[in-house]
Amino acid sequence: MDTAVSVKNIMKKFGEVTALNDISFNIKKNKIFGLVGPDGAGKTTLIRIMCGLLKADSGEVDFSGIESAGSKGKIKNEIGYLSQKFSLYTDLTVDENIEFIADIHGVKNYQTRRDELLQFTRLKDFRHFQAGKLSGGMKQKLALACTLIYRPKIIFLDEPTTGVDPVSRREFWIILSGLLKENITILISTPYMDEAERFNYIVMMNNGKLISEGTPAEIKAALNMTVMEIVCIPVRDAYKILKKNVRSDVQMFGDRLNLIF
């Protein structure tokens, strides 16, 4: 079976607001799977449900494709999760944060693995720096190294490149591509349409609904429209102006706007 995870008919409401409306899809093993959508599409809510941090109102997430023998229902050490907000200890060094996560997951003799990850993420020269003094891009690399120290089979990355400089974004993608050699399945959410080209398979979301899915080539072939991307500051003010004054569909993706016509 080449399916790592199956998401089946997930529903989630917060009061009167429907955050997720009957979401279903499959994630294949050893692929980069993308959740693409604007702010408020439901991507973070869905990832938190998949990681067991939030309970769905209905539906289920089936991890049978990655669960080890005898570990039914116990997938803590099979998955890794990087949230939007940096959640490691800022007063601990790079080495100390990795050691702490290794201890939590019961990883023994992790030193060699830690050195490999520091080399892989290009953090070796910063191993004695406090995490709070790292740049945004290096913090994301540290969070990834901490996740990989216990060798999960699938990692969930919630908009890891948002707010990160272009050079760090490019380096982060190079690192993620290298992970496929370790037979790791990657689910990553992003508001950036240009990053969608890097995924093996895409699910596009908007207002809690799945609006399209397929490979990047299939998505583009099905979209018989022109998309104009606008990078501007301040993006929210520009969004309000365009929404009011143009007839085209206007969508906000992170720090940029898309006009569809």
Share of the chain above pLDDT 90, in %: 38
Domain locations along the chain: 3-215, 225-261
| Average predicted confidence (pLDDT) for the chain | 86
- Choices 3.40.350.10, 3.50.70.10, 3.40.50.300, 1.10.3720.10: CATH for 3-215: 3.40.50.300
pLDDT confidence tier of residue 57, bands split at 50, 70 and 90 = very high
pLDDT per residue as tens digits for the range 194-253: 788 889 999 999 999 999 999 988 887 776 667 788 888 888 888 888 888 887 778 777
CA gap 176, 130 in Å, rounded: 24
pLDDT confidence tier of residue 98, bands split at 50, 70 and 90 = very high
Share of the chain above pLDDT 70, in %: 95
- Lowest pLDDT segment from 50-59, 132-141, 151-160, 218-227: 218-227
CA gap 89, 134 in Å, rounded: 12
Report the pLDDT averaged over residues 32-53: 91
Report the pLDDT averaged over residues 67-76: 56
Question: What is residue 68's predicted lDDT score, i.e. its pLDDT?
Answer: 56
Q: Sign of the C-alpha dihedral, residues 164, 186, 260, 221?
A: positive
Q: Residue type at 239? A: Y
Cα–Cα distance list, 77 to 23, 155, 217, 235 (Å)? 25, 11, 34, 39
With a cut of 60, say whether residue 70 has pLDDT above it.
Answer: no
Question: What is residue 181's predicted lDDT score, i.e. its pLDDT?
Answer: 80
Question: What is residue 15's predicted lDDT score, i.e. its pLDDT?
Answer: 93
- Lowest pLDDT segment from 138-142, 178-182, 201-205: 178-182
